[in-house]
Amino acid sequence: DQQVKQNSPSLSVQEGRISILNCDYTNSMFDYFLWYKKYPAEGPTFLISISSIKDKNEDGRFTVFLNKSAKHLSLHIVPSQPGDSAVYFCAASAQTGANNLFFGTGTRLTVIP
């Protein structure tokens, strides 16, 4: 029962262009969403998050958009850089405070120089 879904296993983007990674969820109790970036043989690294009371959060080149009615969020990276090439995981949790995260299956982003 995959409650967080990333339907695109991979994405290739030219350097300097925008990368858009998508994520859908099914549990309406989720109220906090995070994006993690993962390089091979390393643990996931936190990138950006958004609370369900917001619909947008921006941090430098990274922006996360949340559409609660559609149960959909997306991560925009602009401009994309070769160093952004990694696997990106969307994660969600059901309540604030320390609690377990539900992860998507990841999207492998390749930024072509």
Instruction: For another protein, give the closer residue by CB, 57 or 79.
Output: 57
The Cβ of residue 29 has, within 10 Å, a number of other Cβ atoms equal to 11
Residue 67 binds another protein (CB under 8 A)? no
Residues numbered 88 to 107 that lie near another protein (CB under 8 A) are 89, 91, 93, 96-106
Please select the residue that binds another protein; options are 24, 36, 80, 109, rule is CB under 8 A: 36
Segment interacting with another protein, rule: CB under 8 A, options 13-21, 34-42, 65-73, 76-84: 34-42
Structure tokens at 6: 């990333």
- Contact (Cβ atoms closer than 8 angstroms) between residue 54 and residue 67: no
Q: Residue 82 is encoded by which pair of tokens?
A: 């070769």
